[in-house]
Structure 1
Amino acid sequence: MYLTIANSPSNGIKDYYHRVVSNEGDDDDDEGNKYRPLLRQILITSPAWMLLFATGFSFGAPTVFIPQIRKEKNSTEAISDEMASWLSSVFGYSSLPWIIVICYAITRLGRKIPFMFVSINTFVFNVILYFSTSNTQMLISEILQGMNHGANLTLTIIILSEYTSPKYRGVFLTIKSATFYWGVWCANAIGTFLHWKYIPLTAIVLILYNFVSFLWPESPHWLASEGRFEECARSYFWLMGKNESTIKELERLVNSQKECIKNRRTFDRHRIFEILTAKLFYKPTLVCIVMMLQYNFTGKIVCAMYAIDIIKRITGSESTAYYVMLLLDGVTVLGMYFGCFLTRVVKRRSLLMTSGTTSVIFLCILSLYLYLINLAFINESRFVTIGLLVGFSLSVSIGPVILLISTHAELTPLKYKSHCMAVAAILYNIVSGTLLKISPYIFLAFGMHGTFLFYGLTSGSCLLILYFCLPETKDKTLQEIENYFEGEEKKTCNSSLI
């Protein structure tokens, strides 16, 4: 049946689509069914958001449990500086093999089964962290967390891009980024006012919601890539609604994947070279890599992990550091939700350039301000320091933080999705893990003024590159974006996934 559909002419496909529509029920254009596709897409995206929220909980945990354990035992040697740096960064390295495994799994098994497996892993490593009584057990929990960070830039992005319509996709993807930092904020708040073990306990309870993923249909994009067009149509109409617009979009998706299936070949060394030199692979992949470098070099991920240490070095007060950390976390989350609204009315490229440039300016001003304090030209003012940090957090959260995920998801073509995701995610986690690992030593070697200058210069350089190579993706379908990178002349698809 699938083979017949795949080889049928365009008119036959249209007839088939209308047959599925008539069998499934009425169109979704009427008022009663108007919001049904949106509610169904929220059913899919909410477990993905919850996974990010729980991951944010785990990411924020070392920020508060390291100083809390040291204070309980009245010794900094309870968790040495070396162990503290590993607890704060090891997930970046442990995610690397999981990226390969997840990319292979989403190609062979679809999107639903790998997502359930990652959700179970989230439950397991939080249980280990809750019952941990030694540094080794906490380190094991952080290592297992690597699977989640591998999934964040592969599996969850694919789910949020393939299960949602172009109308809502940008908002859903930006909410994903905001939800991660919402988790960081909540973890820091719990660790500030309560015992740190309430952090993994809360995550254990919340992640149980993700068992709703058993109700999901499989991704229509993956079903189409497997030649299962009848299931693809049913899944697509269930998610997007049944009207003339979705019929046309589904026809474009099926026609694209028919050509891929027809020309698919076995994987060999020559095929690797073909993939690496294909415009549809290397162009979006390079753009995504530069965006990831730009995000990491804003310093936001380092500031989130080492917030207490950074603020304490600037203000000299530990109690002030905790409250300013919560303030900055709150500003970050609110800024990201404001950015979510802006993505509905402002072009993504313009938003990234404006907010990214503003964040670079704040980093340079912070560097100069702290350098003048270091030279004793001016005295440190907590209000000025907090104001500059708030301005930096707000500007970076409105643009670079939320647009990384959404633009990465939109730029990655279906034909080479697993390859692009794997390359970009591996590089991202190597860079972020390394920055988190060496940041304490950068603080000591260059001071806070040198650290902020480093991030300002590197982030600004990446932003300049993106100015010349980043396309606009707002309100475009994934197929339209893919056609942009292919060029006007349609190339024959010879895709072979991992």
Structure 2
Amino acid sequence: MMDSCVYDVVSNAVNETEETALDKAETKRIYLWRQMFVSSGVWSIYFVLGLGFGAPTVMIPQIRREANSTDAVTESMASWLTSVHGYGALPWVFVIPLLTRYVGRKIPFLIICLVTLISFVLFYFSTNTTHLLISAVMQGMLLASNMTLLIVIITEYSSPKYRGMFMIFESTIFFLGIWVANATGVFLQWKNIGYIAFICSLYPLTVVFWPESPYWLAMKGRFEECAASHHWLKGYDKDSQCELETLIDSQKQYIKMCEENKRNVAGNRVKFIYETISTKAFYMPMLISVVVMSMYHFSGKLVCTMYAMDLINQITGSNMTSSYGMLIMDIITIVGMLLGCILSKILNRRTLLLSSATSGIFFLYVISVYLYLIKYSVIAENRYLSILFLTLFSVSISLGPMIMPSTIFGELICGRYQTPCLLLLTLFSEFLMATVLKISPFIFRTLSLPGAFLFYGMSASVFTLIVYKYLPETKDKTILEIENYFKDPVQRREDVKKVLLKGT
């Protein structure tokens, strides 16, 4: 009888433990789904951005074929249609950070979604290249939001455990959009791209159901709303509570410091600007982000994507091969990016970025040497070997440099200097991207195809060496932990003393 009672007690305890474990697992899934709900809105708009980027690749050849004349889209207009997104983004680089600072994250995102909808309505009903150019300029607002808002949303709304995967996946979604645009243009009329983009732009309007960012609410001193938003997104577990307490304490100290500095406004503004630009926590993350960004753009991968049909046609001399080769390369690139997402959960950020970048640069040199040997008639051209080398290059770059820059920007830049850092970074990024795309036809024409690949290989090598020297590891670290890494040793010791005094 006694044994039976003991058995019942132990059995009930085990059952209660199992039920508690199941409840905890179910609760974790709820918060994961909530974070994915917010992130999926950002992913959808990234997909639409990819559609806009991929459209010129197939749109321009179609328009020329329909008109039976290359003058239907001149070389100058073709380069503008390909690159104007970046120049159209420049004014919004100044506007969006101000909106996100003073209005929040939800309202600017809603405005961007509505402008994107209108731009693709114009795209679908366009009758000439001027209409298409205006549509592309309007999409510049969406492109500007890439680094000024979309990265911020993913960073602030997701837990450190999922943040890296969410941000890497958004880069994959962008290139999936490019592939869908290319596939649509190969098999259907190019205007269908506008129809798909319009439909996909409707889902992000679910932003009206999001809570406001807990980080923004904390920055504004609305700590009760911050806690409610943080709990809705990330729950009540130990790690979540620790992150929330650290966030609120940090912002309280910052608000107190700002109030103390209001007495001498003019003098403090000059002092604040000087202290900001001379603070390691400001300039080091920004410079590292600039180098990572430059490494990606000067790898030539985006150029190869945007001018894929022309490049493959130059190498193989076949229009049919260029169309299908472009789609195959894009599919392999997307598979590589998805593989990169998986590897990012296994490998450290630094390891994945540097190893994949080194591999991509190696294949840039291989392609350059291979094309030089063909140019000087040392070997005969083999179209399958050419596409193989391009594919290996694409896979290598897609594993790291294509998917990780946004993750690195979002993780390195601390909340205190977020607005000036993102403004400067986005301004640099959009100008760099637009300029690289704009001058690429000139580079290919001046240096020839093998010389262009050699140029991109050498440029990417320089930036990769700098990344190797200065990029820290950020995987599974909170934003505040990463911020602390860049603080001066003296400031770091002072922060530790404050924490110890608070504990006593």
Number of the residue aligned with 2:26: 32
For structure 1, list consecutive stretches of 5 or more residues without a partner in the other structure. Answer: 1-25, 494-498
1:311-337 residue CA offsets vs partner (Å, 9 max, x unmatched): 111111111101010011101111001
Q: Are residue 215 (structure 1) and residue 209 (structure 2) matched?
A: yes
Q: Say whether the 8 Å CA contact 1:57–1:184 is kept in structure 2.
A: yes
Give the match for residue 105 of structure 1.
99
TM-superposition CA deviations, 1:218-242 (whole Å, max 9, x none)? 0000100110000000000110011
Aligned pair 1:293/2:294, yes or no? yes
Tell me the CA shift for residue 84 of structure 1: 0.5
Instruction: Work out the CA distance in 2 between the residues paired with 1:223 and 1:373.
Output: 61
What is the distance in 2 between the residues matched to 1:101 and 1:379? 54
**Structure 2 alignment gaps of length 5 or more:** 1-19, 496-504
The offset of 1:29, in angstroms, is 6.7
In the alignment, the residues of structure 2 paired with residue 458 and residue 29 of structure 1 have an alpha-carbon distance, to the nearest angstrom, of 53
One of 181, 189, 198 as aligned partner of 2:175: 181
| Aligned pair partner of 1:57 in 51, 56, 68 | 51
Residue 8 of structure 1 is matched in structure 2 by: none
Q: 1:28–1:243: 8 Å Cα contact kept in structure 2?
A: no
The 1-side partners of 2:278 and 2:472 are apart by 20
Secondary structure at 1:268's aligned position in 2? helix
Which residue in 2 is equivalent to 1:120? 114
1:27 Cα offset (Å) = 12
**Equivalence for 2:247:** 253
Match of 1:157 in 2: 151
Q: Match for residue 13 of structure 2?
A: none
Which secondary structure does the structure 1 equivalent of 2:179 belong to?
A: helix
1:101: how far off?
0.4
Secondary structure of the 1:34 match is helix
Question: 1:339-393 CA deviation, whole Å, 9 max, x = no partner?
Answer: 0000101001011111000000000000000011111111110111011011000
The answer to which of 71-80 and 89-98 deviates more is 89-98
| Residues in 2 aligned to 1:153 and 1:450: alpha-carbon distance in whole angstroms | 32
- Which residue, 215, 219, 230 being the options, matches 2:224? 230
> Structure 2 CA distance, aligned partners of 1:134 and 1:271?
50
User: More deviation in 242-251 or 232-241?
Assistant: 242-251
How many Å separate the matches in 2 of 1:159 and 1:183?
20
Letter in 1 for 2:375: N
Distance 2:125 2:401 in 1: 36
Letter in 1 for 2:388: G
Separation (CA, whole Å) in 1 of partners of 2:321 and 2:390: 14
- Range with greater deviation from structure 2 (202-211 or 185-194): 202-211
1:205 aligned onto 2:199: yes
- Residue of structure 2 equivalent to 1:145: 139
Cross-structure match for 2:341: 340
Provide the secondary structure at the position in 1 that maps to 2:473: coil
1:133/1:439 CA distance change after superposition, 3 Å: same
**Are the equivalent residues in 2 in contact too, given 1:166–1:476 (CA < 8 A)?**
yes
The residue that corresponds to 1:453 in the other structure is 454
1:359 corresponds in structure 2 to 360
Q: Report % sequence identity.
A: 45
Q: Could you give the per-residue CA deviations for residues 234-285 of structure 1, whole angstroms, max 9, x where no partner exists?
A: 0001100112221111111111111111112567344322211111110100
Q: 1:70 to 1:301 in 2, by over 3 A?
A: same
Matches within 5 A, 1:288-327: 288-327=289-328
The residue number in structure 1 matching 2:166 is: 172
CA distance in 1 between partners of 2:202 and 2:394 (Å) = 32
- The 3 A distance-change label for structure 1 pair 347 and 29 is farther
Distance change >3 Å, CA 490–CA 269, structure 1 → 2: closer
User: How far apart in 2 are the matches of 1:269 and 1:311?
Assistant: 54
1:121-166 deviation per Cα after TM superposition (whole angstroms, max 9, x unaligned): 1101111111110111111011111111111112000000000000
Question: Taking structure 2 as the reference length, what is the TM-score of the superposition?
Answer: 0.91
Partner of 1:69: 63
Whole-Å separation in 2 of the counterparts to 1:201 and 1:452: 36
Whole-angstrom distance in 2 between the partners of 1:424 and 1:34? 35
Matched with 2:5 is none
Q: Which amino acid aligns with 2:422?
A: M
After superposing the two structures, state which structure 1 stretch, 256-265 or 307-316, moved more: 256-265
**Letter in structure 2 aligned against 1:167:** K
Distance 1:75 1:294 in 2: 37
Between structure 1 and structure 2, the one with the greater Rg is 2
Partner SS, residue 154 of structure 1? helix
Task: Give the deviation of 1:97 after TM superposition.
Answer: 1.1
Q: Deviations over 1:382-438 (max 9, x none)?
A: 111011011000000001111111111100100001111111111111111001111
- Residues 455-490 of structure 1 deviation map (CA, whole Å, 9 limit, x = unaligned): 100001000001110000011111100000114443
- Counterpart secondary structure, 2:475: coil
Given the alignment of the two structures, is residue 82 of structure 1 paired with residue 76 of structure 2, yes or no? yes
62-71 vs 93-102, which deviates more? 93-102
CA gap 1:270/1:489 in 2 versus in 1, 3 angstroms: closer
TM-score, scaled to structure 1: 0.92
Residue 157 of structure 2 aligns to which amino acid in structure 1? Y
Tell me if the contact between 1:292 and 1:428 (Cα under 8 Å) persists in the aligned partners. yes
